């Protein structure tokens, strides 16, 4: 897919696959922005094709460098097919606001999203897979892999860890307020506003079989009820992988 080494290591190359065509000023190709959108998320949607039919599956994922990782049951249809080396599109979306306008045409949603194209493959090296499975837990809950029981042989085999290099990527963002046709501001007496939307974590609910004396580990100090999930996931990501 990539014929040449990109001239700028801080940007993804723009090509016919990833070029943002509609409202192209919303397009983003710089790695700093794309990494920020990805690392603020815990879940994505992955598109893949089996027997000519497209599927769109939600799953948890994370990024390391220019690679994205996710996992699944070794027996699942999706994973068995991706395992063969399947082209996929992994998309991450943050919904940031509902935007009401004075015409239907200008109603909108503020969002940040990334579409990453690559070829999925299974991670088969044992040590690498174990290391990545630990990172998968720590990326959400810093330091947690050291506290929990490690995978037994059955669990290890039952889990397929998938990865892909981000071969072609685009980010897209709308972060504007109401934007109407000039004549509509005066002519249309409709109350128009923007409602921010955030995803937040609530109060933790302890496992009913918690051993006595256990409390939230210090490394999870950022898990404060009411915290935005995107901001929390950015913090936990950096705690685990650095800036």
DSSP secondary structure letters along 42-74: SEEEEEEEETTEEEEEEEEEEEETTEEEEEEET
Name which of residues 142 to 161 contact a copy of itself (CB under 8 A): 144-145, 147-151, 155, 158-159
83 binds a copy of itself per the rule CB under 8 A: no
Q: Is 7 in the site for a copy of itself (CB under 8 A)?
A: no
Question: Closest approach of Cβ 9 to a copy of itself, in Å?
Answer: 25
Find the shortest distance in angstroms from Cβ 124 to a copy of itself.
Answer: 18
The reply on whether position 200 binds a copy of itself by CB under 8 A is: yes
Which residues are within 8 A (CB) of 237 and not within 5 positions of it... i.e. 6 or more apart?
A: 39, 40, 62, 139
* Residues 6 or more apart in contact with residue 129 via CB below 8 angstroms: 123, 156, 161
Considering only residues 42, 122, 164, 169, which one is a binding residue for a copy of itself as defined by CB under 8 A? 42
Q: Verify binding: residue 177, a copy of itself, rule CB under 8 A.
A: yes
Check binding of 184 to a copy of itself (CB under 8 A): yes
Pairwise CA distance, residues 14 & 21, whole Å:
11
Question: Residue 99 and residue 145: Cα distance in Å, rounded?
Answer: 41
- 211 contributes a contact to a copy of itself by CB under 8 A: yes
By CB neighbour count within 10 A (0-12 exposed, 13-18 middle, 19+ buried), where does 213 fall? Answer: exposed
Would you count residue 171 as binding a copy of itself (CB under 8 A)?
no
176 binds a copy of itself (CB under 8 A): no
Residues 105-124 that bind a copy of itself (CB under 8 A): 105, 107, 109, 111, 113, 115, 117
Applying CB under 8 A, which of residues 10, 25, 153, 205 lies at the interface with a copy of itself?
205
**Nearer Cβ to a copy of itself (111/241):** 111
Q: If you search the block for the tokens 């509902």, which residue do you land on?
A: 98
Q: What are phi and psi of 59, to 5 degrees?
A: -160, 165
């Amino acid at each position: 897919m990539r014929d040449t080494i990109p001239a700028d290591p801080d940007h993804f190359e723009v090509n016919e696959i990833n070029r943002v065509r509609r409202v192209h000023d919303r397009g983003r190709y710089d790695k700093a922005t794309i990494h920020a959108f990805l690392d603020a998320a815990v879940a994505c949607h992955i598109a893949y094709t089996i027997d000519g039919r497209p599927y769109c599956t939600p799953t948890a994922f994370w990024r390391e460098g220019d690679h994205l990782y996710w996992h699944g049951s070794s027996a699942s249809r999706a994973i068995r097919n991706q395992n063969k080396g399947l082209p996929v599109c992994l998309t991450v979306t943050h919904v940031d606001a509902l935007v009401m306008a004075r015409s239907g045409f200008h109603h909108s949603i503020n969002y940040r999203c990334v579409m990453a194209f690559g070829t999925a493959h299974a991670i088969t090296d044992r040590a690498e897979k174990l290391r990545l499975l630990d990172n998968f837990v720590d990326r959400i809950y810093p330091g947690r892999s050291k506290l929990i029981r490690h995978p037994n042989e059955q669990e290890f085999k039952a889990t397929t860890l998938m990865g892909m290099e981000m071969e072609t990527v685009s980010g897209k963002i709308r972060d504007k307020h109401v934007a109407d046709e000039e004549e509509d501001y005066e002519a249309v007496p409709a109350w128009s506003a923007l409602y921010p939307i955030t995803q937040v974590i609530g109060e933790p609910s302890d496992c009913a079989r918690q051993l006595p004396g256990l409390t939230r580990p210090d490394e999870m100090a950022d898990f404060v009820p009411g915290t935005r999930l995107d901001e929390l996931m950015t913090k936990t990501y950096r705690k685990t992988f650095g800036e």
